[in-house]
Amino acid sequence: MRATLLYGAGDVRVENVPDATLKLPTDALVRVTAACICGSDLWPYAGKAHDSGPARMGHEFIGVVEAVGAEVTSVRPGDLVIAPWIISDGTCEFCLEGKQNACVHLSMWDMEPDEGGQAEAVRVPSADGTLVKVPAGVDAALMPSLLTLSDVFGTGYHAAVAGGVTPGSTVTVIGDGAVGLLAVLSAKLLGAERIVLMGRHRVRTDLGREFGATHVVATRGAEGIEAVRELTGGHGAPVVIEAVGTRDAYDQAVGVVRPGGTISRVGVPQYEEAPIGVGSLFLRNVRLAGGAAPTRGYIEQLMPTILDGTINPGKVFDVTTTLDGTPDGYRDMASRKSLKVLITP
Amino acid sequence: MRATLLYGAGDVRVENVPDATLKLPTDALVRVTAACICGSDLWPYAGKAHDSGPARMGHEFIGVVEAVGAEVTSVRPGDLVIAPWIISDGTCEFCLEGKQNACVHLSMWDMEPDEGGQAEAVRVPSADGTLVKVPAGVDAALMPSLLTLSDVFGTGYHAAVAGGVTPGSTVTVIGDGAVGLLAVLSAKLLGAERIVLMGRHRVRTDLGREFGATHVVATRGAEGIEAVRELTGGHGAPVVIEAVGTRDAYDQAVGVVRPGGTISRVGVPQYEEAPIGVGSLFLRNVRLAGGAAPTRGYIEQLMPTILDGTINPGKVFDVTTTLDGTPDGYRDMASRKSLKVLITP
């Protein structure tokens, strides 16, 4: 079968690899019908060393079950399923609390060296805990939106939930990438009244407005902080969602948050240490929340709003390609020519 | 009048200074009846440069109003009052939300160069917003406990509130100083069921047990983390209160917090940058909360539990001295010979 491999920075190839097969009785074999490229795939695309050997790519996908191991009970061949970016058992104390990112049997697609969603098929470990079945007979037009439940929408939603967005909230979202835009949609869904989107790409911020942003701030740094403060009563936003992951974006979040407010981070931090002391968070009682999104728990919660047409998060996909177009998809997302690329293997 | 001055590291003197007097119509003049030394006073005591000139000390005190400015309406001469460590106007949007640490007219005692609580008298700015009246006729034996409302108890309580302690909570408190011990008392007051106190000084941890600690862990580092995990179901505590302020204490907090849990910091951070990325907080969705405590708001809330004898936070004072004994008080608190020193000017 064919699959996507990252050989090193800027070097993505689609190649023949051994067919995915069941290995454990808890596995499912899934034929991928739609996958996509994640903003977080762009970090290794930017910096992976060639000498570490090629890595299988892709952790967001939807597909049809082809076979299941003897112990799998929740899905069966023919089922359309959504796979979240985290592999979890569904039964441990953390999974039962909805914290699948702390599952005691946690795995991730990049910890499974022979699997990846940007491929024709995938072996899915812990299938009962990981996969979520889509009701039969769903309109094909809904597939892009359902695919966002795999990671990008659930991550934006996690940002809004962890930030404590409630009806009437004022929220600032930093970043007009797909996660940031879906954080806007999520904040709107949770009842936020004022949503300031910080982003500079007009096409993206226009989609942000469609998703619910009431204001767009295109400036950054001190100027951006001033603009957000003007829009939020002079003291900043009580909830700030940081959907980028760079130190600059974190510093921007510290600058635009209101005293006593919350910074909710979902962009994978490209830093380990950052300011949290008296001069940044402590004196102003700013809470730092968020983290890796337990999207598995949000899939069942959010799917009905997609199935009934309430929302259309799939609008973040501006390009659809076959597996052959995946290398170009990486290039175009990295250069910000494309917002988010959908792959139909 | 006589007041405490810090000339430089290790050099505290009690000297004659000009009498405190009213300056603004919003001021009150307060004769101090009890003050104390704060753990945070020990940071400049350890490191202040001599060449920056002497600084007036003390931000925790209780006293009797001697005179008030023309605009002061909430207190009058003869009233016994508690002064919180933050000076706030009581009327701005932040004060009304109970976030006095973000008051738009915020001041602190160390921002008032001629004032300090470790003295015979103090000019209190924004008296209506800042001071809280104690009911007349209160038993003198309650004064130490009432004095803790100024800062140390409110700070411990803020740690528990910001950490989200609720009935049944499991909490780990790092630090057996007065703030840590009163965080234990606060967690107990909020209904915590399991309270693990990390501290190595037997006399202090014994008081911690009296305040509600169900377990004491005397080890630190990896060994301490292991011990706390064993006491908290194997994965750490959902709420960790960091009541020290050093990087070591922060790292300990990161080590003992459960995935999805909260670290609530109230020890003044002696660092600005610290780990918050994928390897520390992000992947495990650990929230970072707390900060400078808006103790003003807690005074009225907590005073009844002291007046009716429910709790006795004044037990943290193990030494009482006159103003003359203040330099020795600093020395003994810095060497950890004394837990917390009460001064009766």
- Chain B residues within 8 A of A282 when measuring between CB atoms: 265, 268-269, 290-292
Q: Which of residues 175-214 of A touch B (CB under 8 A)?
A: none
Contact B288/A285, CB-based, under 8 Å? no
Bridge partners for B35 per DSSP: B61, B343
Does A44 contact chain B (CB < 8 Å)? no
- Chain A residues within 8 A of B294 when measuring between CB atoms: 285
Q: Which two tokens stand for residue A295?
A: 């999207």
pLDDT mean over A34-63: 92
CB contacts < 8 Å between A and B, how many?
Answer: 121
Does A96 contact chain B (CB < 8 Å)? no
The minimum CA-CA distance between A281 and chain B, rounded to whole Å, is 7
| Interatomic CA distance for residues A338 and A336, integer angstroms | 5
Does position A111 have pLDDT exceeding 90, yes or no?
A: no
Tell me which residue in A260, A276, A287 faces B102 most closely, judged by beta carbons. Answer: A260
Q: Which two tokens stand for residue A189?
A: 């869904």
Q: Which two tokens stand for residue A259?
A: 């005293």
Contact B102/A271, CB-based, under 8 Å? no
Indicate which of B93, B104, B265, B281 best probes the interface with A, i.e. most A CBs within 10 Å of its own CB.
Answer: B281
Contact B285/A102, CB-based, under 8 Å? yes
pLDDT of residue A47: 87
pLDDT of residue B332: 96
Cα four-point dihedral sign A318, A323, A324, A329: positive
How many other CB atoms sit within 10 Å of the CB of residue A85? 27
Does position A52 have pLDDT exceeding 90, yes or no?
A: no
- Chain B residues within 8 A of A233 when measuring between CB atoms: 93
The residue in chain A having the minimum alpha-carbon distance to the alpha carbon of residue B277 is A272
Does B44 contact chain A (CB < 8 Å)? no
Does A46 contact chain B (CB < 8 Å)? no
Here the ipTM equals 0.94
The minimum CA-CA distance between B15 and chain A, rounded to whole Å, is 31
Does A92 contact chain B (CB < 8 Å)? no
pLDDT of residue B258: 97
Q: Which two tokens stand for residue A224?
A: 């951006």
How many other CB atoms sit within 10 Å of the CB of residue A97? 14
Q: Which two tokens stand for residue A203?
A: 């096409």
Give the DSSP letter of residue B63.
Answer: E
Indicate which of B278, B286, B295 best probes the interface with A, i.e. most A CBs within 10 Å of its own CB.
Answer: B278
Contact A292/B282, CB-based, under 8 Å? yes
Determine contact, residues A113/A17, Cβ cutoff 8 Å.
Answer: no
In order of start, what are the domains of chain B with their CATH numbers?
Answer: 2-151+294-343 (3.90.180.10), 155-290 (3.40.50.720)
The residue in chain B having the minimum alpha-carbon distance to the alpha carbon of residue A103 is B259
Q: What is the pLDDT of residues A156-177, one digit of tens each?
A: 999 999 999 999 999 999 999 9
All residues at 6 or more sequence positions from A137 whose CB lies less than 8 Å from its CB, including other chains: none
Bridge partners for A5 per DSSP: A13, A56
Query: How many alpha carbons lie under 13 Å from residue B53 in its C-beta half-sphere?
Result: 3
Q: What is the pLDDT of residues A265-320, one digit of tens each?
A: 999 999 999 999 999 999 999 999 999 999 999 999 999 999 999 999 999 999 99
Cα four-point dihedral sign B207, B210, B211, B212: positive
Does position A49 have pLDDT exceeding 90, yes or no?
A: no
pLDDT of residue B110: 83
Contact B276/A277, CB-based, under 8 Å? no
Q: In whole angstroms, how far apart are CA B82 and each of A59, B29, B86, B137?
A: 58, 13, 12, 15
Rg (CA), chain A: 20
Does B99 contact chain A (CB < 8 Å)? yes
Residue A33 vs residue A48, higher pLDDT: A33
- Chain B residues within 8 A of A93 when measuring between CB atoms: 233, 235
Confidence label for A48 from pLDDT (cuts 50, 70 and 90): confident
Contact A269/B282, CB-based, under 8 Å? yes
| Interatomic CA distance for residues A232 and B319, integer angstroms | 49
Q: For residue B236, which of B226, B222, B221 has the smallest C-alpha distance?
A: B226
Does B292 contact chain A (CB < 8 Å)? yes
| Interatomic CA distance for residues A211 and A188, integer angstroms | 7
Q: Which of residues 237-276 of A touch B (CB under 8 A)?
A: 259-260, 265, 268-269, 271-276
pLDDT mean over A186-195: 98
Tell me which residue in A284, A287, A292 faces B283 most closely, judged by beta carbons. Answer: A292
- Chain A residues within 8 A of B289 when measuring between CB atoms: 287-288
pLDDT of residue A312: 97
Contact B269/A288, CB-based, under 8 Å? no
Residue found by looking up tokens 């951006």 in the block = A224
Does B277 contact chain A (CB < 8 Å)? yes
Low-confidence ranges of chain B (pLDDT < 50): none
Q: What are the φ and ψ backbone dihedral angles of B328, each rounded to 5 degrees?
A: -65, -35
